[in-house]
Amino acid sequence: MELKILSNINSPVDLKNLTIGELNILAQEIRETLLEKISQTGGHFAPNLGIIEATIALHYVFNSPIDKFVFDVSHQTYPHKILTGRKDAFLNKDKYGTVTGFTNPHESDHDFFTIGHTSTSISLACGLAKGRDLLNGKENIVAIIGDGSLSGGEAYEGLNNAAVSGKNIIILVNDNNMSIAKNHGGLYKDLELLRETKGKSENNFFKSLGFEYHFVDDGNNIEKLIEALKKVKDIDHPVVVHMHTIKGKGYKDAVKHLEFYHYVSPFDLKNPKLMLEKKGESYSDISENFLIKKAKGDKSVVVITAATPGSVGLQKFREECKEQYIDVGIAEEHAIALVSGISKRGAKPVVEAVGTFLQRTYDQLSQDLAINNNPATIVVHHGGISNSSITHYGIFDIPLISNIPNIVYLAPTTKEEYLAMLEWSIEQRQYPVAIRVPNTAVISTGEEVEPKFDNLNKFLKVESGNQIAIIGLGDFFHLGKKVYDELKKIGINSTLINPRFITGIDEEMLYKLLEGHELVITLEDGVLDGGFGEKISRFYSDKDIKVLNFGAKKEFVESVPLKELYERYHLTEKLIIEDIMKIFK
Amino acid sequence: MELKILSNINSPVDLKNLTIGELNILAQEIRETLLEKISQTGGHFAPNLGIIEATIALHYVFNSPIDKFVFDVSHQTYPHKILTGRKDAFLNKDKYGTVTGFTNPHESDHDFFTIGHTSTSISLACGLAKGRDLLNGKENIVAIIGDGSLSGGEAYEGLNNAAVSGKNIIILVNDNNMSIAKNHGGLYKDLELLRETKGKSENNFFKSLGFEYHFVDDGNNIEKLIEALKKVKDIDHPVVVHMHTIKGKGYKDAVKHLEFYHYVSPFDLKNPKLMLEKKGESYSDISENFLIKKAKGDKSVVVITAATPGSVGLQKFREECKEQYIDVGIAEEHAIALVSGISKRGAKPVVEAVGTFLQRTYDQLSQDLAINNNPATIVVHHGGISNSSITHYGIFDIPLISNIPNIVYLAPTTKEEYLAMLEWSIEQRQYPVAIRVPNTAVISTGEEVEPKFDNLNKFLKVESGNQIAIIGLGDFFHLGKKVYDELKKIGINSTLINPRFITGIDEEMLYKLLEGHELVITLEDGVLDGGFGEKISRFYSDKDIKVLNFGAKKEFVESVPLKELYERYHLTEKLIIEDIMKIFK
């Protein structure tokens, strides 16, 4: 592909002297670059295709990095990266891996924050603006936020405060009528009305909060965008620019199937249907099939997601059980308080959540749900050590959830155990229950497990031995089994335990281990600090037995291969055995 | 006081046949009851005086508990309690202690949730409504929310979802133009406009979200309220009723000094000025005086509160350092993201927060602040074991904050150490720092401490001994000192350590303790699960030394006397020594 314009763009200043015609060609070149690159590597597809023109206009009108852009959730910043000296990472196959998928201050002075969760940009921009004012700066601060992110409480808190700041802050609302999934909430009817009336509707959410308001009908028209942004540049008060863009613009199949093309795995641009092929059964499929059956048999069962039906696996459920499906949009706090209320009224709510996003709702877990001790089920997906982006690293759910009183947090090890826990949790009326979906391929024993977990904190002894006891939590039970097998090979007949419960310890069983065992090891797929193993260490700390806790170190990591992390944390049977042997020396 | 009407009211049905004249007398009787009772016991004063008429109207029009009321934050429910069979707790001195200060399902079927944090009512009400719909119920669900609570993100997430529920849900906005402190944010200008235009202003926040909207000009007029509520009773879609009430109504001094009279200690109704007398210096005073001096000397220092300038001690700062003071309203998420931005731009932000409310912002602490590793200071007040209401029990901050990477959480033991940590934190540019204000009377040594804590996780050995090492964290260092003294009396010369850092351990010092010590005890003023002591236990779990962790059990407790909790958790020197001796037996 020939890049007439892009080949000369190495920083935003290179845009300044281009004509509108050249900027339009540049947009086309960036679009082609993105289509090729993302289809090869995977990544956020439709969000980036939709914001190319706006990114060009922003960099044309403003003077980054003096003027500062804060991109909400920042998965739509590939065009921004291309324009700010990082185009090689999108053009050169050998350099594809050299930039992250989100803004990253370690990569460029044009990025101010590492961002990956939604709804944060306005508050962060308010901070940059307040810092500017305290230090007598003069630059523009621009937050760029998608309509989907506007349903999150943090975005609203930011808007409410930005509105009265009395100083320069520009909020560019990128309205493509779509979150990851379809948007939900009253605000979206207002945005629709504003789009239909070209910004002239009487009811205007932004004006009601006190903002000066501008509307840009075609947010993929560079000329119109430049005109609009020039009007607000160097403004001395808060302003909202509401632009209407086409998510997925330039790839027909994406515009048709927006939810699907939000984030893609590598695919063939010319034959996109292949993407729909599925590989094997996942825990999400198991959840979904179970919940569909459950919901059809019991009209009081209701399943809630906070805008991630794809990540947790609810697309079929959504179709088949309409009235028993609620997508609250990006609004995790609401989701948790909601299920407390649903449960209090006697129905049976199940939240399907992504672990890292549950972080957004600690207080609701504690106050709305746990203090009230209402029976609701929270299914926690993608908790555990992974090669994910730093902002989506899922090792913190155990300290987050398990140190709150009243909540029962369960760690199934197999498909059958998972289903038994889910069934038990939905039907019991005593506890708020969270279930940690194994972060692995499905392991099935074929042997049904009884859905009975009322006897809280009873661990399951799977193998009885002596000398060493292995407590393997959830998906790491299987790592425990490997250690057990290795120990057997060298003549040690150890004890193997599936604790099942994260939120409490089986004191009776732990006391019994004091007989005949010299060492207890714990294995957990999460951070050690504040986690499960430390509770075992505390229990044994005044007793005559040693303990080794295996799990992740308290640190943020950016897209590190799983194998490397497992080595780093000694989470392979070989390294575990080595550590055990140091004790026995 | 003669109670002509109230004496015959034992449940809401007793209201139904009263005339408006009688209801007005009832309001007066409740007002006099509250004035007398709250001035004697202390409690939420102005909020309850303002909502008497509305509570009577609600119970007159609706059929509680079939129709369900959810009171936001619920500190304004004394009138509700009086009308729902609990008047004795307000009339009879011997029974003053028999009800809690918030709604409480254990007390009455008219209460559905234990609530104490703000902004939750709409989401909880949405839950009751969805449960109703799933189970084919027909009742009214009413959320009663103050204007102050509307700035919290959870309230907005609730509104945004309630607006599109398509079913009965009634949101009564109790607008008294006041949070605990003055309100801040764009929404409040809109509410003001709506009050001024009697609800007719073009810009209407609620309508913009899609709500049917009603305005009641005089929310202390029972007749008008009944009329308005009758119109929306049994409505089949979401509606907002916006009423204007007078906070503190009926007590002149309260209406004049609203912030002061939000919550009161016992005082003389006839001579209220006595309330203003202060007792001794508190850690809040120390903070405030330090920050005033600091801010005056450095214009880049800025102090942020989320609507609690009184609780954290910022009223003088607010007056003296206007431009360097930000009250974001009840918007903790915004507060934390904001300071990350302020810090990124080079200024020096300090958040003064109440520990239990930091729970509302875990994800912002982790994502906006810690991942970005921006240097900001968070001062955590009221963390620790206390006799507070269950919803304000402050033992969870250590697991919450200290298991997030990058954050440095400090635990000062004295005034001088606290000030040194504050000075260091504000000036350093490397870490997000939280400081846990001692939950005790001020302890001052008179000896200045150097503001140098760059050498992270270095514990301070205060006394060198052998056999036993005592690690006393923060305010519990002094308990450790008492244990040290008691041990000395019985001939044991122990080691006494002030760890200073909560977020990491001093491995070098801990290794050295292995020589000459048989037992390490840890003391922390917080929950053990996920806390500081468990990290020490983990460190020693594979080594030849015993550890005992002292702290609170993982449980929610409701207003239990401190002494009782200390006994329960063995947090007295006597009980600690007994536990130590069991090890040495």
> In terms of Cα–Cα distance, which of A88, A54, A85 is closest to A71?
A54
Inter-chain residue contact A154 with B583, CB threshold 8 Å: no
Distance CA B342, CA B376 (A): 8
Distance CA B150, CA B148 (A): 5
From the list A157, A323, A338, the residue facing B151 with the nearest CB is: A157
Mean pLDDT of B445-451: 97
Inter-chain residue contact A529 with B402, CB threshold 8 Å: yes
**Is the domain B460-584 a CATH 3.40.630.10 member?**
no
For each of chain A's 585 residues, which pLDDT tens digit applies?
789 999 999 999 999 999 999 999 999 999 999 999 999 999 999 999 999 999 999 999 999 999 999 999 999 999 999 999 999 999 999 999 999 999 999 999 999 999 999 999 999 999 999 999 999 999 999 999 999 999 999 999 999 999 999 999 999 999 998 766 777 899 999 999 999 999 999 999 999 999 999 999 999 999 999 999 999 999 999 999 999 999 999 999 999 888 889 999 999 999 886 555 566 899 999 999 999 999 999 999 999 999 999 899 999 999 999 999 999 999 999 999 999 999 999 999 999 999 999 999 999 999 999 999 999 999 999 999 999 999 999 999 999 999 999 999 999 999 999 999 999 999 999 999 999 999 999 999 999 999 999 999 999 999 999 999 999 999 999 999 999 999 999 999 999 999 999 999 999 999 999 999 999 999 999 999 999 999 999 999 999 999 999 999 999 999 999 999 999 999 999 999 999 999 986
- Peptide bond connecting B65 to the previous residue in cis, omega within 30 degrees of 0: yes
Inter-chain residue contact A154 with B153, CB threshold 8 Å: yes
Residue pair B411/B417 in contact by the 8 Å Cβ criterion: no
DSSP B25-58: HHHHHHHHHHHHHHHHH-EE-HHHHHTHHHHHHH
Facing residues of B301 across strands? B348
Mean pLDDT of B536-545: 98
**Stretch among A29-33, B93-97, B122-126, B279-283 having the lowest mean pLDDT:** B279-283
Domain B6-262 matches domain B283-436 at the CATH topology level:
yes
Q: What's B406-417 look like in SS3?
A: CCEEECCCCHHH
What distance in Å separates residue B69's CA from the closest CA in chain A?
A: 12
- Peptide bond connecting A65 to the previous residue in cis, omega within 30 degrees of 0: yes
- Most A-contacting residue of B340, B538, B558, B583 (CB-CB within 10 A), to test interface: B538
Q: Which residues from chain A sit within 8 angstroms of residue B128, using beta carbons? A: 341-342, 344-345
3-state secondary structure of B546: strand
From the list B184, B205, B331, the residue facing A208 with the nearest CB is: B205
Q: Which residues from chain A sit within 8 angstroms of residue B113, using beta carbons? A: 340-341, 344, 368, 372
3-state secondary structure of A380: strand
Q: Which residue of B has its CA nearest to A392?
A: B367
List helix spans (H) across B163-201: 186-196
Inter-chain residue contact A157 with B333, CB threshold 8 Å: yes
Inter-chain residue contact A390 with B404, CB threshold 8 Å: no
- Most A-contacting residue of B113, B145, B156, B164 (CB-CB within 10 A), to test interface: B156
Residue A582: CA count within 13 A, CB half-sphere: 9
From the list B131, B399, B529, the residue facing A344 with the nearest CB is: B131
Contacts of B191 by beta carbon, 8 Å cutoff, 6+ apart: B147, B175, B177, B205, B242
**Is the domain A283-436 a CATH 3.40.50.970 member?**
yes
Per residue in A300-309, pLDDT (tens digit) is 999 999 999 9
DSSP label of A265:
-
From the list A132, A341, A538, the residue facing B127 with the nearest CB is: A341
> In terms of Cα–Cα distance, which of B287, B279, B227 is closest to B435?
B287
Q: Which residues from chain A sit within 8 angstroms of residue B537, using beta carbons? A: 534, 537-538, 541
Residue pair A329/A179 in contact by the 8 Å Cβ criterion: yes
Per residue in B7-33, pLDDT (tens digit) is 999 999 999 999 999 999 999 999 999
Residue pair B68/B112 in contact by the 8 Å Cβ criterion: yes
Inter-chain residue contact A367 with B534, CB threshold 8 Å: no
Inter-chain residue contact A185 with B163, CB threshold 8 Å: yes
Residues in chain B: 585
Residue pair B433/B377 in contact by the 8 Å Cβ criterion: yes
Residue pair B225/B24 in contact by the 8 Å Cβ criterion: no
Q: Are strands A348-354 and A301-305 parallel, antiparallel or unpaired?
A: parallel
A164 phi, psi to nearest 5 deg:
-105, 15
Inter-chain residue contact B368 with A326, CB threshold 8 Å: no
Compute the C-alpha angle A492/A494/A497, nearest 5°: 160
Distance CA A289, CA A479 (A): 28
Task: Report the complex ipTM.
Answer: 0.97
Widest CA span of chain A, in angstroms? 82
Between A and B, how many residue pairs show a Cβ–Cβ distance under 8 A? 403
- Most A-contacting residue of B138, B324, B338, B396 (CB-CB within 10 A), to test interface: B338
How many other C-beta atoms lie within 10 A of the C-beta of residue A274? Answer: 9
pLDDT exceeding 70 applies to what percent of chain B? 98
> In terms of Cα–Cα distance, which of A549, A528, A577, A569 is closest to A472?
A549
Residue pair A175/A181 in contact by the 8 Å Cβ criterion: no
Q: What is the pLDDT of residue B571?
A: 98
Q: Which residues from chain A sit within 8 angstroms of residue B363, using beta carbons? A: 117, 359-362
Mean pLDDT of B454-471: 98
Edge-to-edge strand order for the sheet containing B408-410? B325-327, B301-305, B348-354, B377-381, B433-436, B408-410
Distance CA B116, CA A355 (A): 26
Q: What is the pLDDT of residue B177?
A: 85
What CATH architecture does domain A6-252 belong to?
Answer: 3-Layer(aba) Sandwich (3.40)
Q: Which residues from chain A sit within 8 angstroms of residue B331, using beta carbons? A: 157, 160-161
Distance CA A298, CA A294 (A): 6
Inter-chain residue contact A368 with B334, CB threshold 8 Å: no
The residue ranges of every structural domain in chain A are 6-252, 283-436, 460-584
Residue pair B433/B425 in contact by the 8 Å Cβ criterion: yes
Inter-chain residue contact A130 with B406, CB threshold 8 Å: no
Inter-chain residue contact B542 with A548, CB threshold 8 Å: yes
What distance in Å separates residue B31's CA from the closest CA in chain A?
A: 30
Inter-chain residue contact A204 with B203, CB threshold 8 Å: yes
Distance CA B421, CA B427 (A): 10
Band (pLDDT 50/70/90 cuts) for residue B375 is very high
Per residue in A320-336, pLDDT (tens digit) is 999 999 999 999 999 99
Per residue in B345-365, pLDDT (tens digit) is 999 999 999 999 999 999 999
Inter-chain residue contact B207 with A211, CB threshold 8 Å: no
Distance CA A147, CA A292 (A): 30
Residue pair B367/B340 in contact by the 8 Å Cβ criterion: no
> In terms of Cα–Cα distance, which of A320, A202, A308 is closest to A259?
A308
A70 phi, psi to nearest 5 deg:
-120, 110
Residue pair A351/A304 in contact by the 8 Å Cβ criterion: yes
What distance in Å separates residue B387's CA from the closest CA in chain A?
A: 16
- Most A-contacting residue of B527, B541, B583 (CB-CB within 10 A), to test interface: B541
From the list A154, A331, A399, the residue facing B160 with the nearest CB is: A331
Q: What is the pLDDT of residue B178?
A: 72
From the list B329, B337, B347, the residue facing A134 with the nearest CB is: B347
Inter-chain residue contact B184 with A204, CB threshold 8 Å: no
Facing residues of A495 across strands? A469
Q: What is the pLDDT of residue B298?
A: 98
Inter-chain residue contact B337 with A529, CB threshold 8 Å: no
What distance in Å separates residue A167's CA from the closest CA in chain B?
A: 13
Residue B417 has pLDDT above 60, yes or no: yes
Residue pair B549/A538 in contact by the 8 Å Cβ criterion: yes
pTM of the model: 0.97
Q: Domain B6-262 falls in which CATH fold? A: Rossmann fold (3.40.50)
Residue pair B431/B407 in contact by the 8 Å Cβ criterion: yes
For chain A, the 3-state helix, strand and coil shares in percent, each to the nearest 5, are: 45, 15, 40
Q: What is the pLDDT of residue A3?
A: 94
